């Protein structure tokens, strides 16, 4: 479904991605794990078209994406819940959701609002509250719900566990699995490797702009090197 | 002894403000008076500091409510004023009022209306799309000169001139915005600041086209059904019509899909991009529409004065229009009207204090930023995390 071929990205003199290749198959949850600054978020940003590639190619359902602007990539069916949530703090929860469906008409997305309310009942309760007044966990839910409003076939999630209490993380990860089971393919970036490996089918491990290891979650979870570096065992 | 030392240490920072007061007042008042002002300021700050330590927070809170209170009481009243009857009455009032006023007050009202249109236009750029434009006056000037040149050289009449002035300003905005709107944040502000100055300097020096510092005179007056616009009353009604048009179209625009996308860009550009909003095109659109209104007002200005010169288009004008938007409340149409009203009428009323006008603007803006950052009637709600 999604394929990155030898993608490089640089910010000025610094090479953030030094030749990344990965693929995501329809229906999968793929985790991209690694430490701070490994290039995980840059990978997602370059898939979304917000960061430009220096070389390499990104294909979505065999279409090259690298020349397309972000809004056309959203139209093709990829949407992202960016790192740090990036909700619109001075819009209500409802308005945030409507922004997520920006490219669609009102009558088209009425059903999607119901769907995300089913997934995240809290958001229905807080419908008229300003985004900025939500708690961190609720903001994360809003960010994911908003990304779902464009009806993506591929959902990019950037650190959904960032700064949240473990109990909320468990809840959000359960919902991510539910979204996947309803048919959305998911590429998940996480520092919380343990939780990510429990959720994902397969995973890639990144270090300083390169993919250093890949495999099924079970295999990676049992790898002694991974255990030592990321799982704290 | 130690106590005194500590007192000096604690208050040394406060000495900066009297120093500023001294420097600011020196050119207006001469050394003696400036020194007295600085000492007074220093004394007041000392009192303030002592009071602050005694009653922490409470004075601050009361000052905040003194500024924010009346504005908050006014806001619901203004939202009631949206009903149809209230609007008809308001328009009727504005139509009849000048009949009972002297020419001087009619002129002030016309001026206020002009700035309302300018501020509403700038609001699209600054208040809606969140682009800091410091050279807005350039587009006002382009509109004015477009009509001035077309009228004197080609005898083009006012009405097509109005459209052409707005169109020219829009084209210039598009040409400038195309390369520069890809810049992020403050760079755009610097580019527009440069544009404002360049435009004025070009107008001042391109003698053959613009008449240089002498400007262009004998610009054609508007004519409608054989009646030539001459009196202050004629021009007041014309600009009032433009204001109504502007308010109506802005209200529509702000509530539209495009308006919501602008707010999203202002709130969080990365998120807006991730939502599938074509941020570049929408920012360009805001810049072009805002500039077109400035161009249109410029044409009106040229026709009213029958004379234009570069003097009317200084950086100060840009700052003043920006102040109206910020003071009144970014993104709020009634707020911006209030801002324009205050900034035009108050200096007219207090003409004797004109030298201190800039100082008062500065103080007002600083106080606003501290106590009511969303502006007097702003829609942008503060206090979020």
B120 pLDDT higher than 90: yes
Residues of chain A with C-beta less than 8 angstroms from the C-beta of B385: 89, 132-133
Q: Does the CB of A150 have a partner CB in chain B at under 8 Å?
A: yes
Do B161 and B288 fall within a single domain? yes
At residue B184, does pLDDT exceed 80? no
* B18 and B151 housed in the same domain: no
Same domain (yes/no): B285, B142: yes
pLDDT at B379: 55
Residue B376 lies inside a defined structural domain of this protein? no
pTM of the model: 0.80
**CB B384 to CB A102 under 8 A?**
no
Give the pLDDT of residue B239: 93
B23 & B91 share domain: no
Of the given ranges (A188-197, A203-212, B43-52, B182-191), which has the lowest mean pLDDT? B43-52
Q: Is the residue at B379 inside a domain?
A: no
Cα of A141 to nearest chain B Cα, Å: 15
Q: In the prediction, which pLDDT does B20 show?
A: 76
Shared-domain flag, residues B218 and B311: yes
Residue-level pLDDT at B382: 39
Q: Which domains does chain A have, with CATH numbers?
A: 2-231 (3.40.50.300)
Residues B102 and B208 in one domain: yes
- Across the range A89-101, mean pLDDT stands at 90
Asked whether residue B215 falls in the same domain as residue B130, the answer is yes
Kindly indicate the confidence band of residue A11, based on its pLDDT and cuts at 50, 70 and 90. confident
Span B164-171, average pLDDT:
96
- Whether the per-residue pLDDT at A163 is higher than 60: the answer is yes
B13-27, B206-220, B320-334, range with the lowest pLDDT = B13-27
Domain identity same for B75 and B51:
no
Question: Choosing among A48, A83, A99, A138, which should be mutated to test the B contact, i.e. which has the most B CBs within 10 A?
Answer: A99
Shortest distance between the Cα of A106 and any Cα of chain B, in A, equals 11
In a domain, B385, yes or no: no
DSSP tag of A93? H
The DSSP line for A55-90 is EEEEEETTEE-TTS-HHHHHHHTEEEE-TT----TT
B42 shares its domain with B82: no
Distance from CA of B279 to the nearest CA of A (A): 9
Residue numbers of B between 26 and 55 with CB closer than 8 Å to A: none
The shortest C-alpha distance from B261 to chain A (Å) reads: 8
> Minimal Cα–Cα distance from B286 to chain A, Å?
18
B155 shares a domain with B48: no
Name the residue among B242, B293, B315, B284 with its Cα closest to residue B140: B293
The answer, yes or no, to whether ipTM is higher than 0.90 is no
- Domain with residue B313: its CATH number is 1.10.3470
Closest-approach residue (CA) in chain B for A80: B274
Judged against a pLDDT cut of 80, whether residue B185 lies above it is answered with no
Q: Is residue B65 included in any domain, yes or no? A: no
Whether residue B380 has pLDDT greater than 70: no
Phi, psi of A40 (to 5 degrees): -65, -50
Look over chain B and give the mean of its residue pLDDT values, rounded to a whole number. Answer: 82
Query: Is the predicted pLDDT of residue B283 greater than 80, yes or no?
Result: yes
Where does the pLDDT of residue B385 fall: very low under 50, low under 70, confident under 90, or very high at 90 and above?
very low
The answer to whether A132 contacts B271, with C-beta atoms less than 8 Å apart, is no
Pair B250, B310 in one domain: yes
Q: How confident is the model at residue B154 (pLDDT cuts 50, 70, 90)?
A: very high
Name the more confident of A162 and B4. Answer: A162
User: Do B88 and B31 share a structural domain?
Assistant: no
The residue segments making up the domain with residue B17 are 2-55
pLDDT above 90: residue B174: yes
Q: Is residue B231 part of a domain?
A: yes
B59 pLDDT higher than 50: yes
CB pairs under 8 A between A and B: 75
Provide, as residue numbers in chain B, all residues whose Cβ is less than 8 Å from the Cβ of A74: 274-276
* pLDDT (mean) for B196-217: 89
Contact across the interface for A71 and B261, Cβ inside 8 Å: no
Q: How many domains does chain B have?
A: 2
pLDDT score of A154 more than 90? yes
């Amino acid at each position: 479904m999604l394929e990155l071929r030898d993608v490089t990205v640089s910010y000025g003199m610094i090479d953030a991605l030094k030749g990344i290749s990965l693929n995501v198959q329809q229906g999968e949850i793929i985790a991209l794990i690694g430490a701070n600054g490994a290039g995980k978020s840059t990978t997602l940003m370059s898939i979304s078209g917000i960061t430009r590639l220096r070389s390499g190619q990104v294909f979505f359902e065999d279409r090259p994406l690298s020349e397309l602007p972000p809004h056309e990539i959203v139209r093709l069916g990829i949407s992202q819940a960016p790192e740090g949530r990036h909700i619109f703090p001075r819009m209500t929860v409802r308005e945030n959701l409507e922004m997520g469906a920006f490219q669609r008409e009102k009558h088209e997305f009425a059903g999607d609002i119901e769907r995300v309310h089913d997934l995240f009942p809290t958001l229905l309760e807080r419908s008229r509250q300003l985004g900025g007044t939500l708690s961190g966990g609720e903001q994360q839910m809003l960010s994911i719900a908003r990304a779902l409003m464009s009806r993506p076939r591929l959902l990019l999630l950037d650190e959904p566990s960032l700064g949240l209490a473990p109990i909320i993380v468990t809840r959000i990860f359960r919902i991510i699995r539910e979204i996947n089971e309803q048919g959305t393919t998911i590429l998940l970036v996480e520092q919380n490797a343990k939780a990510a490996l429990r959720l994902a089918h397969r995973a890639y491990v990144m270090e300083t702009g390169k993919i250093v290891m890949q495999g099924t979650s079970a295999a990676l979870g049992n790898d002694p090197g991974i255990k030592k570096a990321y799982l704290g065992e | 002894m130690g106590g005194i030392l500590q007192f000096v240490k604690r208050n040394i920072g406060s000495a900066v403000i009297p120093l500023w007061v001294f420097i600011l007042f020196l050119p207006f008042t001469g050394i003696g008076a400036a020194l007295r002002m600085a000492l007074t300021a220093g004394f007041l700050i000392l009192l303030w500091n002592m009071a602050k330590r005694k009653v922490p927070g409470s004075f601050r809170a009361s000052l905040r409510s003194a500024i924010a209170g009346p504005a908050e009481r006014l806001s619901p009243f203004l939202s009631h004023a949206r009903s149809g009857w209230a609007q008809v009455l308001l328009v009727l009032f504005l139509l009849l009022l000048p009949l009972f006023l002297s020419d001087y007050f009619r002129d002030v009202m016309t001026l206020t209306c002009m700035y309302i249109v300018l501020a509403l236009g700038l609001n699209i750029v600054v208040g809606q799309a969140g682009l800091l434009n410091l050279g807005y006056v350039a587009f006002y000037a382009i509109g004015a000169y477009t009509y001035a040149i077309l009228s004197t050289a080609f005898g083009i009449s006012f009405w097509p001139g109005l459209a052409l002035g707005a169109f020219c300003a829009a084209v210039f905005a598009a040409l400038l915005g195309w390369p520069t709107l890809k810049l992020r944040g403050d760079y755009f502000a610097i580019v527009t600041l440069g544009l404002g100055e360049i435009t004025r300097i070009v107008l001042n020096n391109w003698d053959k086209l613009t008449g240089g510092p002498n400007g262009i005179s004998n610009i054609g007056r508007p004519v409608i059904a054989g009646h030539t616009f001459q009196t202050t009353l004629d021009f007041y009604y014309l600009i009032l019509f433009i204001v109504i048009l502007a308010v109506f179209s802005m209200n529509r625009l702000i509530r539209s899909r495009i308006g919501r996308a602008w707010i999203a860009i202002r709130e969080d550009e990365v998120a807006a991009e991730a939502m599938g909003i074509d941020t570049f095109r929408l920012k360009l659109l805001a810049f072009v529409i805002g500039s077109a209104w400035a161009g249109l007002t410029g044409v009106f200005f040229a026709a009213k004065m029958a004379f234009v010169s570069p003097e009317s288009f200084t950086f100060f004008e840009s700052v003043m229009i920006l102040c109206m938007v910020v003071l009144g409340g970014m993104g709020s149409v009634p707020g911006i009207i209030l801002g324009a009203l205050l900034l035009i009428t108050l200096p007219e009323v207090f003409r004797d204090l004109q030298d201190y006008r800039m100082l008062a603007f500065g103080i007002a803006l600083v106080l606003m930023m501290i106590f009511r950052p969303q502006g007097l009637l702003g829609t942008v709600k503060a206090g979020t995390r």
